[in-house]
């Protein structure tokens, strides 16, 4: 009947986006225009079974809410830490931040239960996809996205497409090493930019300073039992704590040197930083580029993302780009 057809037309084409991070498991309903219609957050469970069960129950809840929001869900996009084979929808090797998550088929349980098509990619790659569709990467042929959260992820767009490499290990930019030794990294190596500049690395250094009674300065207080983190470190540095400044300076230098290595390898025209620490890193990264990049690479633009949720938006973009390509 006619009224149903009109209802159908008035629905917003949307995606379910799932983001599996080192800390949280998040699901969102994302519209075609990149608007997050509703978002759900839980702690990411520690076991495979609980994690899959929670993904499914959160997605089911979101599907119900989508009806009331008049959103038509075209499919599910999943962003996860670890190396992903997006053709198969499988996590090959996880990061240590997510346990029981290697050689895991994510696509089958979700598509079998929800009867929707499912796309999966690495979180850094999703951040790049989000920039390409909704952010500073729109229309840019060659760019790199670097997202700093608990860890550091990256994605490389060349000729407008993500590169995955010969074994789905391209753009593992958090594990670019800038020291022959340097701090230990969760990946098993040392001196990775993730071990210098991630939220986790800054938290480790903040805790070390706090344990040695070197963190607190006038104007800064930490409640008893409150775990210290990168924000305390940044505030301490702002209030004149030179030790905190020095930790942040090393982190910025390490990230900058890692980015120069990327410039000297794939030479993009734009680097987009995202994640809570992005705005703190933009200026030190630009300084390192001026000091240490070849003159031919100096023209690079470094920008801070203006997207609130790059991983979720990138996960959604896999659904929206593919589905609309098929539909129209």
319 binds a copy of itself (CB under 8 A): no
Question: In whole angstroms, what is the distance from residue 110 CA to residue 155 CA?
Answer: 25
Q: Is 308 among the residues known to form the active site? A: no
202 binds Zn ion (CB under 5 A): no
Window 136-155: contact mask with a copy of itself (x via CB under 8 A): -----xx-------------
Question: Using the rule CB under 8 A, which residue among 41, 221, 265, 324 binds a copy of itself?
Answer: 265
Beta bridge partners of 42: 25
Question: In whole angstroms, what is the distance from residue 17 CA to residue 15 CA?
Answer: 6
Residue 73 interacting entry, from Zn ion, Ca ion, a copy of itself, none, C-beta within 5 to 8 Å by type = none
80 binds a copy of itself (CB under 8 A): no
DSSP code at position 37: E
The answer to whether the beta carbons of residues 106 and 20 sit under 8 Å apart is no
Question: Using the rule CB under 8 A, which residue among 14, 15, 25, 83 binds a copy of itself?
Answer: 83
Closest to Ca ion by CB, 154 vs 199, is 154
Between helix 199-211 and helix 242-266 the angle, nearest 10°, is: 160
Task: Name 3's Cβ contacts closer than 8 Å, sequence gap at least 6.
Answer: none
Question: In whole angstroms, what is the distance from residue 319 CA to residue 153 CA?
Answer: 21
Q: Is the dihedral angle over the CA atoms 242, 244, 248, 254 positive or is it negative?
A: positive
Window 122-151: contact mask with Ca ion (x via CB under 5 A): x-xx--------------------------
253 binds Ca ion (CB under 5 A): no
Closest to Zn ion by CB, 192 vs 244, is 192
Closest distance to Zn ion from the beta carbon of 194 (Å): 5
- Catalytic residues, by residue number, are 123
């Amino acid at each position: 009947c006619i009224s149903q057809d009109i209802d159908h037309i008035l629905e917003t084409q949307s995606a379910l986006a799932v983001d599996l991070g080192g800390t949280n498991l998040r699901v969102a309903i994302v519209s075609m225009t990149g608007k997050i219609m509703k978002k759900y957050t839980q702690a990411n469970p520690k076991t495979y079974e609980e994690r899959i069960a929670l993904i499914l129950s959160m997605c089911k809840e979101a599907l119900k809410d989508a009806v009331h929001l008049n959103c038509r869900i075209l499919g599910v996009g999943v962003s996860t830490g670890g190396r992903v084979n997006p053709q198969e929808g499988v996590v090959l090797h996880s990061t240590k931040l997510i346990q029981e998550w290697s050689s895991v088929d994510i696509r089958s349980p979700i598509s079998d239960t929800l009867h929707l098509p499912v796309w999966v990619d690495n979180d850094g790659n999703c951040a790049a996809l989000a920039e390409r569709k909704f952010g500073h990467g729109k229309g840019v042929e060659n760019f790199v996205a670097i997202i700093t959260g608990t860890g550091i992820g990256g994605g490389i767009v060349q000729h407008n497409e993500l590169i995955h490499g010969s074994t789905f290990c391209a753009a593992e930019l958090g594990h670019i090493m800038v020291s022959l030794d340097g701090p230990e990294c969760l990946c098993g190596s040392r001196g990775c930019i993730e071990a210098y500049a991630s939220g986790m690395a800054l938290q480790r250094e903040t805790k070390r300073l706090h344990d040695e009674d070197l963190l607190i300065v006038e104007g800064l207080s930490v409640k008893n039992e409150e775990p210290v983190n990168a924000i305390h470190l940044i505030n301490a540095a702002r209030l004149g704590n030179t030790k905190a400044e020095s930790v942040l300076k090393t982190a910025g230098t390490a990230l900058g040197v890692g980015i120069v290595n990327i410039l000297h390898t794939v030479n993009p025209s734009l680097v987009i930083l995202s994640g809570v620490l992005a705005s703190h890193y933009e200026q030190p990264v630009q300084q390192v580029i001026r000091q240490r990049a070849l003159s031919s690479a100096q023209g690079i633009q470094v920008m801070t993302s203006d997207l609130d949720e790059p991983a979720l938006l990138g996960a959604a973009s896999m659904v929206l780009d593919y589905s609309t390509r098929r539909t129209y």
